[in-house]
């Protein structure tokens, strides 16, 4: 599992190796990418992956962190966002983006791949929460 900046410091978001490999392939096809954690509308609560800029964020969203990844030695970053209202409920949670077989969300770029991104979560420890502080808007 890769934390948001590859370090051992606390992070709000991480990505599994399998999801990182898929993101590298998707980036080659679609260019820079971003995630927005869906709030449960038509695609449930799946992390939605878009070409960077295709989903417009605003003051109503919180930037949870950046996934720092590499593709054949070339570094790239995938920002992860969530609605501010949803973050109020999830602010105590560490999120790991993973990928599993299945039908992806219709608007997310992995949909044609026969896989879908999903979130695995755990509670942040008190020490992690104290170190992280508030998420950025």
42 in any annotated domain: yes
Look up the domain containing 48 and give its range.
2-131
**Total domains, the chain:** 1
d(CA 84, CA 137) in angstroms, rounded, equals 8
Q: For residue 87, tell me if it sits in a domain.
A: yes
Tell me, yes or no, whether 136 lies in a domain: no
Q: How many residues does the chain have?
A: 137
Dump pLDDT digits (tens) for 109-130: 998 899 999 999 999 999 998 8
Q: Evaluate whether residue 59 is within a structural domain.
A: yes
Alpha helical stretches, state H, 2-125: 17-30, 84-90
Cα dihedral sign, 5-9-13-15: positive
pLDDT digits (tens, 9 = 90+) for 14-26: 999 999 999 999 9
Phi-psi region of 6 (alpha: psi -120 to 50; beta: other; left: phi over 0): left
Q: Above pLDDT 90, what percent of the chain?
A: 64
Assess if residue 137 is contained within a domain. Answer: no
């Amino acid at each position: 599992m890769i934390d948001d900046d590859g370090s051992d410091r606390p992070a709000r978001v991480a990505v599994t190796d399998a999801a990182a490999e898929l993101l590298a392939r998707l980036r080659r096809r679609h260019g820079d990418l971003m995630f927005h954690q869906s709030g449960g509308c038509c695609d449930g609560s799946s992390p939605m992956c878009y070409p960077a800029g295709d989903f417009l964020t605003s003051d109503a969203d919180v930037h949870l962190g950046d996934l720092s990844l590499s593709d054949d030695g070339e570094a790239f970053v995938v920002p992860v966002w969530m609605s501010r209202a949803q973050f109020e409920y999830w602010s105590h949670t560490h999120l790991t983006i993973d990928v599993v077989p299945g039908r992806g969300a219709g608007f997310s770029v992995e949909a044609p791949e026969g896989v879908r991104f999903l979130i695995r979560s755990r509670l942040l420890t008190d020490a992690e929460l104290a170190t992280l502080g508030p998420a950025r808007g």
